[in-house]
């Protein structure tokens, strides 16, 4: 099953959703600002992406700039920041069979379909 972590207010996320819709494949939409991932889910996403937690952070978000930017944080603290402020999580994220991509640009999604 394909899963997209989606923010309907984000243009790139809407473009990613459109790519999935046009693919004709079944998928699940997770509006992650409403259905905040658990710590276990977030760690799985990071593992599927094959990245460090810091690389999943939206560093231009005001909350990041004001609360975290100049601090030295370990991976656990970065994950905790994303759980407390899911707006910090980069989007969209598409997962298929334990492989994930960040849909920036949205065309990245086509690579796992």
pLDDT score recorded for residue 72 = 95
Q: What is the domain count for the chain?
A: 1
Q: Any catalytic annotation for residue 10?
A: yes
pTM listed for this prediction: 0.94
Q: What does the DSSP 8-state code read for residue 37?
A: P
pLDDT score recorded for residue 36 = 96
Contact between 64 and 87 under an 8 Å Cβ cutoff? The reply is no
**Average pLDDT over every residue of 46-56:** 98
pLDDT digits (tens, 9 = 90+) for 3-48: 999 999 999 999 999 999 999 999 999 999 999 999 999 999 999 9
Range of the domain at 46: 2-112
Distance CA 48, CA 101 (A): 8
Given the residues 4, 7, 8, 10, select the one marked as catalytic. Answer: 10
* CATH code for the domain in which residue 16 is found: 3.40.30.10
pLDDT digits (tens, 9 = 90+) for 61-95: 999 999 999 999 999 999 999 999 999 999 999 99
- Give the distance from CA 68 to its chain's centroid: 19
């Amino acid at each position: 099953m394909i899963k997209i972590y989606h923010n309907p207010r984000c243009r790139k996320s809407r473009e990613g959703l459109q790519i999935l819709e046009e693919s004709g494949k079944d998928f699940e939409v997770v509006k992650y600002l409403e259905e905040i991932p658990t710590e276990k889910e977030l760690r799985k996403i990071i593992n599927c992406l094959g990245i460090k937690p810091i690389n999943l952070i939206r560093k231009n978000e005001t909350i990041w700039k004001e609360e975290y930017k100049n601090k030295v944080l370990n991976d656990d603290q970065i994950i905790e920041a994303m759980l407390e402020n899911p707006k910090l999580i980069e989007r969209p994220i598409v997962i298929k069979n334990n492989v994930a991509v960040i849909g920036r640009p949205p065309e990245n999604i086509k690579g796992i379909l």
